A = this chain, B = another copy of it.
Amino acid sequence: MMNLSIAEENYIKSIYKLEEEGQEAVSTNALAGELDTKPASVTDMAKKLKEKKLIEYEKYQGINLTAEGKKAALSIIRRHRLWECFLVDKLLFSWEEVHELAEELEHVRSEKMTNRLSEFLGNPQIDPHGDPIPDAQGKMGKPRAQTPLHKAKSKRLEVVAVSDKSTALLEFLNAKGIRLGTQIDVIERYEFDNSIELKIRNQPAFTISEQVSKNIMVKPI
C-alpha cells in the first residue's frame, strides 16, 4: 500500500463517503463542498489520485474509487472510528467532541497500533455515532441500511446512529436527551413542514424539524 499524504487521505475518505451516500459518480463540486475547498483544487487532486490508481476519473465524468482506493478508505475509516471510541470510552469525551480530534488521529498510520487499539477497546463494532467499524481486513459489518426517522413507519423506535457529526446537531440531541439506544415514541407527524412530535420516557413531548429527523437513524422495536 502506497504512502498517502494527509490531504490525499482526506480526499479518499470523502469520496468514499459520497459514494456511500449514493452518488453514482462523485462530482467535483460535491467533493469540494464536502472538503470545504474549491472545485479547481479537486480537479488537481483528482489527476494525482488517478495517477496513483486510487480513483477512476475522466474529465467531466466524476470520480469513483478503485478497489485499492476503497481499501485505503476503509483503513482510514477504521482508524477514525476506533479513535472516536477511545476518546469516548476511555477519555470520557462526549460524542460531539470526538469527530474533529479523530480527524487528526486517523492520519497516524500504523497497522500494529490500530490493531492493538482495537483490541484494547474490546474490538468494538460501532463508533460513538452508531457507524460500523471496518475490521483489520477492511470488512465492515453492515453497509448501513438504516432508516432515517423522517421516513420510519413504526411508532416506537430506537436510535441506532446519527448521520451528521456536526457539533451543532449532536449538542441539540444531547439537550433533548437523544443518544444511541434512546427509545422514541412518535406522537404526530405534521405534513406541512414534515416536523415530528415525539416523546422520550420521563420527558415532556417535543417537536423536531425534518432537518433533524432525517439525520437520526432508527429501527423499530
Query: Which residues on A are within 8 Å of B, measured CB to CB?
Result: 87, 90-93, 97, 101, 104-105, 107-108, 110, 112-113, 116-117, 120
Evaluate contact between B104 and A108: CB separation under 8 angstroms.
yes
Which residues of B are found within 8 Å of A120, using beta-carbon distances? 90-91
* CA A105 to CA B120, docked complex, whole Å: 18
Evaluate contact between B113 and A87: CB separation under 8 angstroms.
yes
* CA A91 to CA B117, docked complex, whole Å: 6
Identical subunits present = 2
For A92, give the chain B residue with the smallest CB separation. B116
Task: Give the contacting residue for A113; candidates B91, B108, B112, B116; CB below 8 A.
Answer: B91
Which residues of B are found within 8 Å of A91, using beta-carbon distances? 113, 116-117, 120
Which residues of B are found within 8 Å of A107, using beta-carbon distances? 104
* CA A110 to CA B91, docked complex, whole Å: 13
18 contacts between A and B (CB under 8 A): A87-B113, A90-B120, A91-B113, A91-B116, A91-B117, A91-B120, A92-B116, A93-B112, A93-B113, A93-B116, A97-B112, A101-B108, A101-B110, A101-B113, A104-B107, A104-B108, A105-B105, A105-B108
Which residues of B are found within 8 Å of A116, using beta-carbon distances? 91-93
Which residues of B are found within 8 Å of A97, using beta-carbon distances? 112
For A87, give the chain B residue with the smallest CB separation. B113
Which residues of B are found within 8 Å of A113, using beta-carbon distances? 87, 91, 93, 101
Beyond contacts A91-B116, A105-B105: 11 other A-B pairs, Cβ-Cβ < 8 A, are A87-B113, A90-B120, A91-B113, A91-B117, A91-B120, A92-B116, A93-B112, A93-B113, A97-B112, A101-B108, A104-B107
Which residues of B are found within 8 Å of A104, using beta-carbon distances? 107-108
For A113, give the chain B residue with the smallest CB separation. B101
* CA A93 to CA B120, docked complex, whole Å: 12
* CA A107 to CA B6, docked complex, whole Å: 13
